Amino acid sequence: MDRFSKYVKEMFEWNEEMRDFLESEKVGEESELWGKLNGFTEMMEGLGHPLSDLDLLNLQTKADTIQQEMEEYFKRKQVIGDIWMMGTSLPAGGHTLPDLPYPYQALEPYISEEIMKIHHDVHHRAYVDGLNKAELSIKKAREENDFSLINYWTRELAFHGSGHYLHTIFWKNMIPQGTVGPHGSLITEINSYFSSFELFQKHFSEVANRIQGNGWALLVWSPRSRHLEILQAENHHFFTQWDTIPILVLDVWEHAYYLQYKNNRKQYIENWWKLINWNDVELRFEKASELKWQEF
Ligand SMILES: [Fe+2]
């Protein structure tokens, strides 16, 4: 069975599971969710053979949307306990390489099949493997209470983690031939912050073009300033794992402790633990953990 037939088969199974789940949760038939799922079922049943790339992308986008809406729905209902749709968390070392959402040659002539094959199958896979290895090594360090190599593994965690997460976003940011857009609140935001779409595009391209050596250009949302921003990442990390949200942070710049502790950073860190406002940390965690992407 080829990759796409396998995907469609999985979608059928997923659709069945969703129906069973809504029934077991006694979600009323009048609920919007049933409407959406019925629409999805109809779409699945109406699919022609063989499937076009566009059919598959539609399928995937619809399934993602329904899944997210289900999460929202159950969150609002405050169902007690964790339901699986709230997203099981990945164990250390549990990352997998996501399939490309389209065939290797689908982005031609702009990006060649050869590039896509190597980029996805070799490079992205190496990040997934590296991230799993880093997570497992760090877990082992905790278990054995041996942190002698923790700097090395934390750097690996950032490098491979950012590599994996950014590529996972990158593949889905693209689609053969592109779509018309942006629309809605995104274009409103772009126009209001960057003055116009043309200026945004120019700014983004300049940022990408001027990255020294390897790296990424990123359009990000800043929850603090509540506006978009365009950033550069050299390589992909420099100790950052992109696509994560800080919950608890400790400043160990010398200006943060030197006047009082001199070179005794260790003492400063030890004392710092006596000052934590866990209410604040919990709040940040609550808010941040509301954001969930499909796990890979
Ligand atoms: Fe890459």
Describe the crossing of helices 184-194 and 197-209 by its angle, rounded to 10 degrees: 70
| CATH topology (fold) of 245-296 | minor pseudopilin epsh fold (3.55.40)
The closest of 182, 167, 102 to 128, measured between CA atoms, is 167
Using the mean position of ligand 1's atoms as its centre, give its distance from the Cα of residue 123 in Å. 7
Q: How far apart are CA 80 and CA 57, in angstroms?
A: 34
Lowest mean pLDDT among 30-44, 122-136, 251-265: 30-44
Using the mean position of ligand 1's atoms as its centre, give its distance from the Cα of residue 247 in Å. 28
Most distant CA pair in the chain: distance in Å?
73
Q: How far apart are CA 197 and CA 200, in angstroms?
A: 5
DSSP assignments along 108-123, one per residue: TTTS-HHHHHIIIIII
Question: What CATH number is given for 89-179 in this structure?
Answer: 1.10.287.990
Q: How far apart are CA 177 and CA 106, in angstroms?
A: 9
Using the mean position of ligand 1's atoms as its centre, give its distance from the Cα of residue 293 in Å. 20
The strand ranges marked E within the chain are 215-222, 227-234
Amino acid letter, 3:
R
Q: What is the pTM of this model?
A: 0.70
Residue ranges of the chain that CATH labels 1.10.287.990: 89-179
Question: What CATH number is given for 180-244 in this structure?
Answer: 3.55.40.20
Using the mean position of ligand 1's atoms as its centre, give its distance from the Cα of residue 68 in Å. 27
Percentage of the residues of the chain whose pLDDT score is greater than 90: 41
Task: Report the C-alpha dihedral over residues 50, 3, 61, 17, rounded to 10 degrees.
Answer: 100
247-257 per-position pLDDT tens digit: 888 888 888 89
- Mean pLDDT over 89-103 rounds to 94
